[in-house]
Amino acid sequence: MIQVLILTDIRLYREGLAQVLARDSCVGICGVAGRLDTALSMIGERKPDVTLVDLAMSGSLAAVRAIRLMDPGSKIIALGVPDTEADLLACAEAGVAGYVSRAAGVDDLIATIQQAGRGELLCSPRVAAALRERLTSLADGQGSLGTVPHLTSREREILALLEQGLSNKDIARQLGIEVPTVKNHVHNVLDKFRVHRRGQAAARFRGTVPQRASNRHSNPSGGVPMN
């Protein structure tokens, strides 16, 4: 049985979706969340096989990236994705393992969950071509797609919260640690990514900041299952 966690800020949607999916013998609901911090806590404790993220939710793609920061092996499915090349590429770059379009039904969602649970990544020729062009563009601009430095579990938590734009005080409150401790972790993260600003570390993880832009003297600006 594939264990699924649902993240959407619409209570009626998440509760209704949980009830519908629970009727399928292949799917188990291990949690529902209306906030990213709640979802991250559940993911750490319950280790879902697949996490569903409502793309209509504010900051949904940032939520996808934060989940992957905390658990790089996460299989995430984006719900309600507009069927446009730009939106599909944005989902792919954020790290989703699959998506369900706005026109899809429950059977489509269950099929996508099963595909993601098996580690399958299917896409149409159109999307495959777009992804190939995007990868080529990144490689041309950076020389390589770069690598992510080794981070401790605490540093990943810190980076996930930086991705949300939280201050050191907010991070300390959320993690139950002292502000100076947060500052030390932030310093370590910046040092490992060889950047000078918090936003750059999150951007570097997403692969959107060229390696050459990390110089401290620079002026920094701060596939997919088809249904």
Give me the architecture of the 2-124 domain, per CATH: 3-Layer(aba) Sandwich (3.40)
- Label residue 149 by pLDDT band (50, 70, 90): low
- The residue type found at 67 is I
> CATH classification of 153-214 is 1.10.10.10, yes or no?
yes
Tokens for 219?
């002026």
CA distance 193 to 190: 5
- Label residue 165 by pLDDT band (50, 70, 90): confident
Mean pLDDT of 7-13: 95
CA atoms within 13 A on the CB side of 154: 13
**Following CA atoms 136, 129, 7, 30 in sequence, which dihedral angle do they give, to the nearest 10 degrees?**
-100
For position 3, what pLDDT does the model report?
95
Q: Please, which residues have CB within 8 angstroms of residue 222's CB and are 6 or more apart in sequence?
A: 197, 199, 200, 203
CA distance 204 to 13: 34
For position 92, what pLDDT does the model report?
80
- Label residue 185 by pLDDT band (50, 70, 90): confident
Q: How many helices (H) and strands (E) does the chain have?
A: 10, 5
Q: What are phi and psi of 16, to 5 degrees?
A: -65, -40
Continuous H helices in 98-227? 106-117, 125-142, 153-163, 168-175, 179-193, 198-205
**Each residue's pLDDT tens digit, 26-48:** 999 999 999 999 999 999 999 99
Q: Taking the domains of the chain in order of start, what are their residue ranges?
A: 2-124, 153-214
**Each residue's pLDDT tens digit, 208-221:** 433 333 343 334 33
pLDDT at 136 over 70: no
